[in-house]
Amino acid sequence: MATGGHPERGARLTLAAVCLAVFMLLLDMTIVAAALADIQASLDARLSGLQWVVDAYALPMAGLLLSAATLGDRIGRRRLYLGGMIVFLFASAGCALARSIAFLNGLRAVQGAAGAVLLGVSLPMIAAAFPEPRRRSVAIALYGAMMGAGGAVGPLLGGALVTAYGWPSIFLINLPIGIVALAIAVFAVTESVAPQARPVDIHGTVVLTAGLFAGVYVLIEGNRYGWGSPRMLALSVVCLVALLVFVRHETRSTAPLLDVRMLANAGFAGVCLAAFAATGTLIASTNYLALYFMNTLGYSPFDAGLRALPLTVAIVVGAPAAMLGARWVPAVVAIPGGVALIAVGMWMMTGVTAATGWTHFVAGSVVAGLGLGGLSALTSDAALRFVSVPDAGMATGTVSTVRQIGILAGVAGLGALFSRAAGDIAAARLSALPALGAEPTRLLTDGLGAGAGLRVLDVLPVEMRPMVPTLATIAREAGAAGMQAALVAAAVVATGATAAVAMLVGTGARRTPRDRTPMSVD
C-alpha cells in the first residue's frame, strides 16, 4: 500500500514511476528493430511477420488507450497501473520464450494491451500529482522527453543485447525496469480517481480496434495475398465501414471514447497530425533502416545500433532543447518546425543505391532526430493549449493514441512499399539469370522482398556458390530499392504534414484565447 508521505516527494515519485513506464513502453517499440534480422532467421519469418512484431504491439495500444484512461478514472489509476505493469512483465518474459513468430506476435499483442493501460493512466496520474498548471507543464514535458529517450536508445541498447545475449534479451530487459517502477508505485504512489468519471465506451473501443486491425492487415498482407484479392477488398470495406461507424457513434454518444468534435479545433487537429507524422515517418522507418543495416550492409546488431547513435543523440538532445526553447518559441512555430525538421531529414536520407554506405544516413538522421525529440517533449502539452480544461484528459489521450496509429500506419505502409520495390528489382534481376532455375528464383525473390538482403546467400546450395558475387550485387540493389521507396514515401508524407500542421496550428492559435494556459500558442 502506498504511503502518504510528503506531497512533494510523492509527486516526484509518481512522476518517476510514470516516466519509467513510458520509457519502457517506447523502448519496447524501437528496441525490436535491432532484433528483427535475428528474429527473421531464428523463427523463419516473412517480412509481414516482422511487421506484425511491431504492429501487434502498437495496435491494441492505439485501440485500448482511451478506454484504459477512462477505466482508470473510475476504478483507480494506481490500481490499473499496477495491474498493467504486472501483465506487461509476464508478457515480456513470454516473448523471450517464443519459438514461433505467431506465438511471439500474440504475446506482443498482450504487451500492447497492457501498455495501453500504462499509457492511458500515465498523464492522469501526473495531472493528479501536479495540480498547479506550470509545474504540471514541466512534468508533462519531462514525460514527453522520457518517451523520446526510450524510443531513442532502443536501437543501440537492442543491438548490444542481441549481439551479447541473443534476441530474447530485448524483452527480458523490461523486467528490471518494470520491477523498479512497480516498487515505486506500490510504496510511494497514492490512488487517484476522477470525481465524475465517464462510463467506458465499449462499443467505440471495439469498433475502433476492429477498423484499425482491418486496415493494418490490408497494408501488411496486401503484397502476399494480392491487393485486389477478395480477402483484401473485404477487409478494406470492413476498415472503412468500421471507422465510419466509429465516427457516427462518437458524435452521438453522451460519453464518447473520443470526442471527434475536438478535431474541429484546428490547433488541436494540427498537433494530432504532427504526432501522427512524426511516428508514422521517422519512427516507422527506423525499423527498415535497422533491417537494411544488418541484412543488406552486413552489420551485426551491435554495429547497426552504433550506426543509429547519431539519431539517438539527436532525439535526446532535441527534447530538452525544445523544453528550454518553449519559453521563447511559441507552439505555432515549434510544432510545425519539428515536423519540418523530420521532413528535411527524411529527404536528406533518400538517394539510396547499392553503393550507399551507412554514413549517407548520418546527417539526415540527426536533423530528423532533433525534430522528433522536440515533438516528443512538446506535443502533449501543446495539445492542452487548444482545448478546455474538462477536455484535457481526452486531449492528451487522443495525442497518445494518434502516435500509435502513426506507427501502425507507417510500419504497415512503408513495409508494403519496401517489399514491393525490393521484390520487383529482385525479380527483374534474377529473371536475367536463366541458369538459376524457376524455384531458386522464386525463393530468392521472396527472401529479398522480405528484406533478407545478403542473408539469402547463407542458404544457397553448393552448386550455386559460383553465383554468389552476382547474387550479392542483386541483393544489395534490391535492399537499396526497398529502402529508397520507404524513405521517399516517408519524406513526402512529412513534407505534406509540415504544410498542413503549420496551417492548422496557425489557425488554431488565432482562435484560441491567450489566457487559456500559462504558455501562449501564438
DSSP-assigned states of every residue in 128-195: HH--SHHHHHHHHHHHHHHHHHHHHHHHHHHHHHHHHH-TTHHHHTHHHHHHHHHHHHHHHPPP---T
Report the distance separating Cα 110 and Cα 100, nearest Å: 16
- Structure-block grid coordinates of residue 217: 492487415
Report the distance separating Cα 179 and Cα 183, nearest Å: 6
Which CATH class, in words, describes the domain spanning 7-201+255-423+478-511?
A: mainly alpha
- Structure-block grid coordinates of residue 496: 505534406
Q: What is the pLDDT of residue 404?
A: 87
Give the residue among 139, 145, 146 at the shortest CA–CA distance from 123: 139
Residue type, 238: V
Residue type, 164: A
Report the distance separating Cα 511 and Cα 522, nearest Å: 10
Q: What is the pLDDT of residue 6?
A: 63
Report the distance separating Cα 519 and Cα 114, nearest Å: 33
Summarize the chain as % helix, strand, coil (round to 5).
Answer: 85, 0, 15
Q: What is the pLDDT of residue 262?
A: 85
Report the distance separating Cα 124 and Cα 400, nearest Å: 13
- Beta-carbon contacts of residue 250 (< 8 Å; ≥ 6 apart): 201, 204, 256, 257, 258, 259, 260
Q: If 0-12 CB within 10 Å is exposed, 13-18 middle and 19+ buried, where does residue 131 land?
A: exposed
Measured torsion, CA atoms of residues 394, 398, 400, 401, in degrees rounded to the nearest 10: 130
In the chain, what is the greatest distance between 2 CA atoms, to the nearest angstrom? Answer: 77
Report the distance separating Cα 260 and Cα 269, nearest Å: 10
Q: What is the pLDDT of residue 397?
A: 81
Per the listing, cell 510514470 goes with: 18
- Measured N-to-C along each axis, helices 362-384 and 133-165 cross at an angle, to the nearest 10 degrees, of 140
- The phi and psi torsions of 389 (rounded to 5 degrees) equal -55, -45
Q: Are 265 and 393 in contact (CB under 8 A)?
A: no
H/E stretch holding 459: none
- The phi and psi torsions of 386 (rounded to 5 degrees) equal -115, 5
Q: What angle do CA 353, 359, 360 make, to 5 degrees?
A: 40
Tens of pLDDT, residue by residue, the chain (522 residues): 454 456 678 888 999 999 999 999 989 988 998 898 899 889 988 888 888 998 899 999 888 988 888 888 888 899 999 999 999 999 999 999 999 999 999 999 999 999 999 998 998 899 888 888 888 888 887 887 788 788 878 888 999 999 999 999 999 999 999 999 999 999 988 888 877 777 888 899 999 999 999 999 998 888 888 888 999 999 999 999 999 999 999 888 888 888 888 888 898 999 999 999 999 999 999 989 998 999 999 999 999 989 989 998 998 888 888 878 878 888 888 999 999 999 999 999 999 999 999 999 999 999 999 999 889 878 877 887 887 766 777 787 888 888 889 998 999 899 999 999 999 999 999 888 877 777 788 888 888 888 888 888 877 777 777 788 888 999 999 999 999 999 999 999 999 999 999 999 988 877 765 544 433 333
Q: What is the pLDDT of residue 331?
A: 80
Q: Are 518 and 137 in contact (CB under 8 A)?
A: yes
- Structure-block grid coordinates of residue 492: 513526402
Q: Are 160 and 302 in contact (CB under 8 A)?
A: yes
Q: What is the pLDDT of residue 522?
A: 36
Q: What is the pLDDT of residue 390?
A: 67
Residue 46 φ/ψ region, left for φ over 0, alpha for ψ in the -120 to 50 degree band, beta for the rest = beta
Query: Mapped to the 3 state alphabet, what secondary structure does 245-282 carry?
Result: HHHHHHHHCCCCCCCHHHHHCHHHHHHHHHHHHHHHHH
Report the distance separating Cα 178 and Cα 158, nearest Å: 17
Q: What is the pLDDT of residue 389?
A: 65
Residue 103 Cα distances to 95, 96, 331, angstroms: 8, 11, 43
Per the listing, cell 515549434 goes with: 334
- Beta-carbon contacts of residue 436 (< 8 Å; ≥ 6 apart): 430, 444, 464, 467
Report the distance separating Cα 76 and Cα 74, nearest Å: 6
